[in-house]
Amino acid sequence: MSKYIYSFHEGTKDMKSLLGGKGANLAEMTNIGLPVPPGFTITTKACTKFYAEEKTLWPELKEEIKVHLKEVEESLGKKFSDVENPLLFSVRSGAVFSMPGMMDTILNLGLNDTAVIGLANSTGNERFAYDSYRRFIQMFSDVAMEIPKVRFESLLEDMKENKGVTNDTELSSDDLKELVELFKEVYKEEMNEDFPQDPMRQLELAIEAVFASWNNPRAIIYRKLNDIPHDLGTAVNVQSMVFGNMGDTSGTGVAFTRNPANGENKLFGEFLINAQGEDVVAGIRTPNHIDKLKDIMPEVYNEFIDATKILEEHYKDMQDIEFTIENKKLFFLQTRNGKRTAQAAINVAVDLVEEGLITKEEAILRIEPNQLNQLLHPNFDEKSLKNAEAIAKGLPASPGAASGKVYFNAEDVVKAKNRGERCILVRQETSPEDIEGMISAEGILTARGGMTSHAAVVARGMGKCCVAGCNDIRVDEENKIIKTKTMTLKEGEFISIDGSTGIVYLGEIEKVLPELSGNFGKFMEWVDEFRKLKIRTNADTPKDAAQAVVFGAEGIGLCRTEHMFFDDERIPAVRRMIVSSSLEERKEALDQLLPMQRKDFYEIYKAMGERSVTIRLLDPPLHEFLPTKDEEIKDLSDSMNIDFDELKDRIENIAEVNPMLGHRGCRLAVTYPEIYRMQARAIIEAALDVKNEGFENIKPEIMIPLVGHKKELKYVKDEIVEEISQVFEEREESVEYLIGTMIEVPRACVTADEIAEEAEFFSFGTNDLTQMGFGFSRDDAGKFLSDYEDKNIFTKSPFEAIDRDGVGKLMKIAIELGTKTRPDIHLGICGEHGGDPSSVEFCHVLGLDYVSCSPYRVPIARLAAAQAAIRERTNYNQNDK
Ligand code: PEP
Ligand code: MG
């Protein structure tokens, strides 16, 4: 018989894929002797079987559950279903990759109308017993039966109001008894039956509900956002309860062994006295700082500190710990590697290396490349900040700077984002239902909740700026207004929030780029020690090029010259070039463009120093540059001295049914070689100019796009070479240069041996190669590729991560054939995939010389390249992380 359940003492931290993160770590903590309430984990394998075959708990699994229940009963000397001294359980999900707040938890399971009396008697604490029961009814109803939480919350609020109290803890046991009755009535009203009294039935329904929560909408969105496969399933942890709500010597809390916002090596945590699990993260009561525990229960505090040290040394990473104190006895309910901001991630990784706990390689493998994004984005400009009006201050929950219009619910944020607006999601407090709004917002502001509230934890995980627990404001979600002491802000008004200081400002504030020094600089130096791939950038302007150099770019892999043609000053000349009906007319327009292009290239060379620069000749279909409105056509016809109707005819003639497969790339130069000749001249003349200014090693790389046939390339290349020879003759000086090609048409891949006879380098244009490999239009596939992801046909769009088996195979063929002809051929990639970490890893494996990506992705690609090199060396398996 297969084994689907493991007791905590049977597992280890390395069994994550079977036991989920929480289960594996509960097992590990049990094994290293920390106080963990006993329990067992139902495996992810059981969850996948539940989905694939059973859809309900099957008889053998139920038997296995009973065996493990018995074991816990024996170890604690208590019985599940006992009416005198009942053993209660928590039932919690635990996926392989942590998905905080995304799935569901049920506490106090096992209570019923008689057991609650037993619990009251055995603990001598009636208030606590009924508090536990009302919590259980609410959680069970919400999680297992999908009865809206608000039905219970509003009853609780009414009760507090009637009794004139503000906190749950001020309600008496009679109040709670009354609430229990009201809650059961809600249950009956909604379900048409009484609240289930049989603990075993409660347990089975709860386990099924946790399995089902794997596929609730917010869990699905979270997985998509974090590239977590949908077929892993979740484990379920069934753990004997310990109670933080037993009175003033009990409590519950969460703590990070270091600061998850900035990485500082200082315990960072919060707790609530007389409270149960969810109270801390739900932000319902504002928790105490962990240091306060020292005053209230010094022995427990010391024990806690010792345990955090043990855990950090054991896991060699910053831990995120959940604990409960029951009558001054400390228990651990969870530990995991803590989610952290990018700044904290870098600081912790560098500190751990310097503390001798981990190696540089381990530090490099710990940082998720995409997380660096957070560090590369702007902060508020100091000068503008001086004049800004601060209107409130909350907790600095997740660093960064954001400005946007205020919206008060997730739906409005998503709509506004779709209209192109930048938004700040403002909530009283967030809950998992707000996830889409949090994704779409520039930043998040909440009035309630602490540093470990839902808003804070999720925002840090996303790298999104967040100010939480801002008591200076009142958020009226219904009327969509924020009130401070002095003003009222309505939906759609601009605010700015600073997640590093917690300050909220009125209006928009200018932003500046962050410094890339300190630990970040040190870390990136380590990264560069390990990587083999060079990292270039895709840049079309000197500004982008300069930015990329700051981020560590070693050259330009793709300068798309067409982007230079869209400038307002140039577009008339570009349009004249396109609609000319004779060579003379076209040459006239090209003569006007030549000095502009020469200046473009000169400035880009200057920005790049002597780093390699690959300039691609004109690529898109010509009609993209042409006017569409009658007034614009009229302006052009006037400036060209031709009849309006004739011009309109010419424009219509140029239009294509399928422009992406049309007259673009080198095909244009087959028809109009003079265009590429002008561009090649501009490139070479600019190179000679900078060479004369001291760039002695300048060696322009001219790249021809969309080549599918060797003869096509040869024709275009011969034209260019002839033009360049003319420049050398005219200027009586020369410069070395290379002519290569994009590899982006499948035919080019399978004839790469022939193409390499003409091309001195290959650069894979994986955007077009994916488009033509699959036959998916780049412009339209977005509309349906999400269906492929939803239906598990693709885990990720092939336009984001290289399709290794298909498009990747075409690349492999091209490399094999190309190097046969020209063993030292220089190989790179310049499609969007050049900035995607998994595609960078693939490029490393293929043995490319470089990847090229947008400036802001350069550090990400550097890190991904280093990780690929380290993994290759150590055969490191990503799933063991
Ligand atoms: C490509 O096709 O991958 C590429 C880099 O070129 P473009 O995106 O400009 O077509
Ligand atoms: Mg292309």
In 197-329, alpha helices (H): 199-213, 217-225, 278-282, 292-296, 298-315
Of 41-55, 364-378, 453-467, 840-854, which range is least confident? 453-467
Q: Give, for ligand 1, the residue of 704, 768, 772, 774 to mutate: max count of ligand atoms closer than 8 Å to Cβ.
A: 768
d(CA 129, CA 86): 11
Q: Is the pLDDT of residue 449 over 80?
A: no
Residue of 665, 667, 678, 682 lying closest to 589 (CA atoms): 678
Cβ proximity of 317 and 363 under 8 Å: no
**768 Cα–ligand 1 center, Å:** 6
pLDDT digits (tens, 9 = 90+) for 786-814: 789 878 899 888 998 999 999 999 999 99
- Write down the pLDDT at residue 440: 92
- Write down the pLDDT at residue 280: 65
Cβ proximity of 308 and 203 under 8 Å: no
Q: Which atom of ligand 1 is nearest to the CA of 765?
A: 3
Tell me the pLDDT band of 880, cut-offs 50, 70 and 90: very low
Report helix, strand or coil for 795: coil
pLDDT digits (tens, 9 = 90+) for 615-650: 999 998 888 888 888 988 998 898 888 899 999 998
Q: What is the mean pLDDT of residues 379-394?
A: 85
Q: Is the pLDDT of residue 864 over 90?
A: yes
Q: Is the pLDDT of residue 878 over 60?
A: no
- Write down the pLDDT at residue 281: 62
d(CA 589, CA 574): 7
pLDDT digits (tens, 9 = 90+) for 290-326: 999 999 999 999 999 999 999 999 999 999 999 999 9
Q: Give, for ligand 1, the residue of 559, 564, 614, 619 to mutate: max count of ligand atoms closer than 8 Å to Cβ.
A: 619
- Write down the pLDDT at residue 881: 35
Cβ proximity of 95 and 21 under 8 Å: yes
pLDDT digits (tens, 9 = 90+) for 730-768: 999 999 999 999 999 999 999 999 999 999 999 999 999
**623 Cα–ligand 1 center, Å:** 18
Ligand 1 atom 1: residue of nearest CA: 765
Is any atom of ligand 1 closer than 6 Å to the C-beta of 619? Answer: yes
Tell me the pLDDT band of 284, cut-offs 50, 70 and 90: low
pLDDT digits (tens, 9 = 90+) for 24-73: 999 999 999 999 999 999 999 999 999 998 889 999 999 999 999 999 99
pLDDT digits (tens, 9 = 90+) for 318-335: 999 999 999 999 999 999
- Segment (H or E) for 324: strand 319-326
Tell me the pLDDT band of 452, cut-offs 50, 70 and 90: low
Q: What is the mean pLDDT of residues 657-673?
A: 93
Q: What is the mean pLDDT of residues 600-627?
A: 93
List the CATH code of the domain at 560-743: 3.20.20.60
Q: What is the mean pLDDT of residues 808-822?
A: 98
818 against 379, higher pLDDT: 818
Q: What is the mean pLDDT of residues 716-727?
A: 98
Is any atom of ligand 1 closer than 6 Å to the C-beta of 767? Answer: yes
- Write down the pLDDT at residue 632: 86
Q: Which atom of ligand 1 is nearest to the CA of 562?
A: 9
Ligand 1 atom 8: residue of nearest CA: 767
Is any atom of ligand 1 closer than 6 Å to the C-beta of 238? Answer: no
Cβ proximity of 342 and 331 under 8 Å: no
d(CA 331, CA 304): 9
Residue of 678, 804, 838, 812 lying closest to 743 (CA atoms): 812
- Write down the pLDDT at residue 879: 38
pLDDT digits (tens, 9 = 90+) for 423-438: 999 999 888 778 889 9
> 3-state SS of the chain: helix, strand, coil percent to 5?
50, 15, 30
Q: Which atom of ligand 1 is nearest to the CA of 558?
A: 5
Q: Is the pLDDT of residue 852 over 60?
A: yes
Locate the domains of the chain by residue range.
Answer: 5-242, 243-340, 378-512, 560-743
Q: Is the pLDDT of residue 501 over 60?
A: yes
Is any atom of ligand 1 closer than 6 Å to the C-beta of 142? Answer: no
- The residue type of 391 is I
Of 262-266, 288-292, 373-377, 658-662, which range is least confident? 373-377
The distance from CA 242 to its chain's CA centroid, rounded to whole angstroms, is 35
Q: Name residues whose C-beta falls within 8 Å of residue 166's C-beta, 6 or more positions apart in sequence.
A: 160
**Half-sphere exposure in the Cβ direction for 547 (13 Å, CA):** 19
The rounded percent of the chain whose pLDDT value lies above 70 is: 97
Q: Give, for ligand 1, the residue of 564, 661, 664, 767 to mutate: max count of ligand atoms closer than 8 Å to Cβ.
A: 767
Is any atom of ligand 1 closer than 6 Å to the C-beta of 540? Answer: no
- The residue type of 718 is D
List the CATH code of the domain at 243-340: 3.30.470.20
Mean pLDDT over the full length of the chain: 91
Of 250-254, 264-268, 560-564, 611-615, which range is least confident? 560-564
Is any atom of ligand 1 closer than 6 Å to the C-beta of 562? Answer: no
List the CATH code of the domain at 378-512: 3.50.30.10
Residue numbers annotated as active site: 454, 830
**Ramachandran region of residue 55, left (φ > 0), alpha (ψ -120 to 50) or beta?**
left
> pTM for this structure?
0.78
Ligand 1 atom 10: residue of nearest CA: 768
Is any atom of ligand 1 closer than 6 Å to the C-beta of 830? Answer: yes
Residue of 620, 645, 735, 722 lying closest to 685 (CA atoms): 735
Q: What is the mean pLDDT of residues 146-174?
A: 90
Please give the CATH architecture assigned to the domain spanning 5-242: 2-Layer Sandwich (3.30)
Q: Name residues whose C-beta falls within 8 Å of residue 478's C-beta, 6 or more positions apart in sequence.
A: none
Report helix, strand or coil for 704: strand
**Ramachandran region of residue 735, left (φ > 0), alpha (ψ -120 to 50) or beta?**
beta
Q: Is the pLDDT of residue 780 over 70?
A: yes
